[in-house]
Amino acid sequence: MTVKQISAFVENTPGALEKFTEVLNRNQIDMRALSVAETENFGIVRIIVNDSYKAACVLKDEGYVFSVTPVLAVELPDTPGSLYKILCTLREAQINVEYVYAFTARKKNAAYMIFRVADNDKAIDALSDRGIHLLSQEELEAM
Amino acid sequence: MEKYFAPEIECASRDQLRAWQDERLVKTVHHVYDNVPYYRNLLKEKGIEPGDIKGVEDLHKLPFLTKDDLREAYPTGLLAVPMRDAVRIQSTSGTTGKRVVAFYTQHDIDLWDECCARALTAAGCTKDDVVQVSYGFGLFTGGAGLNGGSHKIGSLTLPMSSGNTDRQIQFMCDLGATILCCTPSYAAYLAESIHERGVRDQIKLKAGIFGAEAWTQEMRHDIEQQLGLKAYDIYGLTEISGPGVAFECSEQTGMHINEDHFIAEIINPKTGEVLPDGEKGELVFTSITKEAFPLLRYRTKDICVIHNEPCSCGRTFRKMSKPMGRSDDMLIVKGVNVFPSQIEAVLINKGYPANYQIIVSREHNSDVLEVNVEMTPEMFSDSLSAISVKEKELIDAMKAMLGIYAKVRLVAPKTIVRSEGKAVRVIDKRNLY
């Protein structure tokens, strides 16, 4: 159970991120989650949106270089130690985490995080065994 | 008081110089015709017999030689003596991986050293001086040339090579270097470093010989002021021998060409027509005393002017201006020849589209080479580290091809400026000419 993340190349220059969000805004694309990773010269903007197909078409038309990556969207109780528990599970299963970022939703008492791991299938099995809820694409789009 | 290394030659009458040139040109034409099949074919194609060349007045009959000929003849196609008689090679970077290799007999090394000795002497160098040679050593001619010239004079020579600024400054202070030989940008960098370390009062430099790259009058004044020396320009190219083909005297109004060894012409780069002194065009050299690698009418691609007005220094050699540009797209970065086609070759070789832009700038008087490459879907990855690995591979491949570090900057697709549909490949922000 993975969700689609769109990762786009954006230059590390003033206005580059603004232009990117303007494209999404103009096309009425709603973001669920956003993360920016940067180097000296460029960045990768990672987004989860309500309509990945439309977002991909729009970005292609606008000349962006991007990729669609399957990532895990994890719902975790909004209590101390819940992230720790997930990371313990992944460590026990020997799964490397490449990056992680959090996002919020309207639901109370829950937190959401995106995990990019080395092996999605293995991670899904390990987390599901511990009763950790992974969001589906449909759930995410309906949020 | 002007000093000369070889006054009887450097101040010889124009008639005497012309007589030497006539005699040596005739001899060189016979030498290459007899010993180099490549030349023989070239001359036969033009219907020229060695006997047709009776002196400098017949020079224009000879065909031009270009870097393409040198590449085609790589590695030994223009070698004019048996390999066992050559004692050294020097080399310069060429395009698409093929370098130019120049051969020297001991006689050729001696005459090159003599040319450099004349340049050093014109800058005031004597046996009592300490000469710090901070040009690169190795295949690059800078270090070897000035090192040889300094030996010839009998000065104490510090063969420092380039880099390791701490050691450069330490030796400069501890051994009391009086003459510095390096690229002008390295001289400016050394000057800055000396001031930062607060050791300016321990510096005894009185003259500097700075060549292998273009520099402005402002830069000359800056270096002169900061290091308390007089800065002299020097010109040369590996194909013809190396530094010392031409050198500046105390008048600092152009570089005297060592005309007893090299005949200089200025041509219209488009038509090949020989232009009179005082007119701007491409510089062409014929070496008339070399044994292993004599070149007839070699097109340097450097644009400059030759002046024949008498010089107050007493030398009778004509003077060439600083190069004012190139008739090809070659860039000189940190003293190293860089062709855009070399960068293109690396990109294509690594599977990138040939969509790039080269930006050369000068930061703290040092050249910075930057290559902008447009990001492609193939190159892109969701992982920053994966992109960094590819970026590093590209930087390493550029370094292997060019011999110098080029910063690679990945830019958004379709952002490289195109003018009239054609991409602008090179932006030189240095304003050197």
Lowest mean per-residue pLDDT among B2-16, B198-212, B322-336: B322-336
The reply to whether domains B7-327 and B332-428 share a CATH topology is no
pLDDT at B84: 97
Lowest mean per-residue pLDDT among A54-68, B76-90, B262-276, B317-331: B317-331
What are the pLDDT digits (tens) for B63-72? 999 988 998 9
pLDDT, mean over chain A: 93
As a whole-number percent, the residues of chain A with pLDDT over 90 amount to: 85
Q: Which residues of A touch B409 (CB under 8 A)?
A: 41
The answer to whether the CB atoms of B382 and A67 lie below 8 A apart is yes
pLDDT at B97: 54
Q: What is the average pLDDT across B260-288?
A: 97
Ranges B170-179, B331-340, B396-405, most confident? B170-179
Residues B115 and B6: their CA atoms lie apart, in Å, by 10
CB-closest option in A10, A37, A69 to B384: A37
Of B191, B219, B227, B209, nearest to B142 (Cα)? B209
User: With bands split at pLDDT 50, 70 and 90, how would you rate the model's confidence at B419?
Assistant: low
* A63, closest residue in chain B (CA to CA): B413
Whether the predicted pLDDT of B218 surpasses 70: yes
pLDDT at B96: 47
Interface test with B, best of A3, A6, A9 (most B CBs within 10 A): A9
User: With bands split at pLDDT 50, 70 and 90, how would you rate the model's confidence at B81?
Assistant: very high
* A20, closest residue in chain B (CA to CA): B412
Whether the predicted pLDDT of B422 surpasses 80: no
pLDDT at B430: 87
CB-closest option in A41, A67, A98 to B410: A41
Burial B351-373 (b: 16+ CB within 10 A, else e): ebeebbbbbbebeebebbbebbb
Q: What is the average pLDDT across B113-141?
A: 97
Q: Does A109 touch chain B (CB under 8 A)?
A: no
What are the pLDDT digits (tens) for A105-114? 877 788 999 9
Ranges B202-206, B360-364, B374-378, most confident? B202-206
pLDDT, mean over chain B: 92
* B409, closest residue in chain A (CA to CA): A41
User: Domain spans of chain B?
Assistant: 7-327, 332-428
Interface test with A, best of B359, B375, B381, B384 (most A CBs within 10 A): B384
The complex's ipTM?
0.86
Q: Does B164 touch chain A (CB under 8 A)?
A: no
The answer to whether the CB atoms of B382 and A116 lie below 8 A apart is yes
Amino acid at B123: A
Under 8 Å CB pairs connecting chains A and B tally to 45
What are the pLDDT digits (tens) for B12-34? 999 999 999 999 999 999 999 99
Whether the predicted pLDDT of B273 surpasses 80: yes
Q: Which residues of A touch B412 (CB under 8 A)?
A: 9-11, 16, 63-65
pLDDT at A42: 92
More confident residue, B345 or A122: A122
The answer to whether the CB atoms of A65 and B382 lie below 8 A apart is no
* Residue A80 DSSP class: T
pLDDT at B146: 98
Helix (H, G, I), strand (E, B) or coil at B120: helix
Give whole-number Cα distances, A115 to A34, A125, B156, B381, in Å. Answer: 13, 14, 66, 16
Torsion angles phi and psi, residue B81, rounded to 5: -130, 160
Distance from the Cα of residue A48 to its chain's centroid? 5
Whether the predicted pLDDT of B355 surpasses 80: no
What are the pLDDT digits (tens) for A49-99? 999 999 999 999 999 999 999 999 999 988 899 999 999 999 999 999 999
* B386, closest residue in chain A (CA to CA): A98
Q: Give the pairing type, strands A3-11 and B418-419.
A: unpaired
The superfamily in CATH containing domain B7-327 is ANL, N-terminal domain (3.40.50.12780)
Q: Does A32 touch chain B (CB under 8 A)?
A: no
Domains of chain A (ranges plus CATH)?
3-69 (3.30.2130.10), 72-142 (3.30.2130.10)
Overall fold of domain B332-428: GMP Synthetase; Chain A, domain 3 (3.30.300)
Whether the predicted pLDDT of B412 surpasses 50: yes
Angle between helix B106-122 and helix B141-153 axes, rounded to 10 deg? 70
Helix (H, G, I), strand (E, B) or coil at B303: strand
The answer to whether the CB atoms of A65 and B412 lie below 8 A apart is yes
CB-closest option in B381, B384, B388 to A67: B381
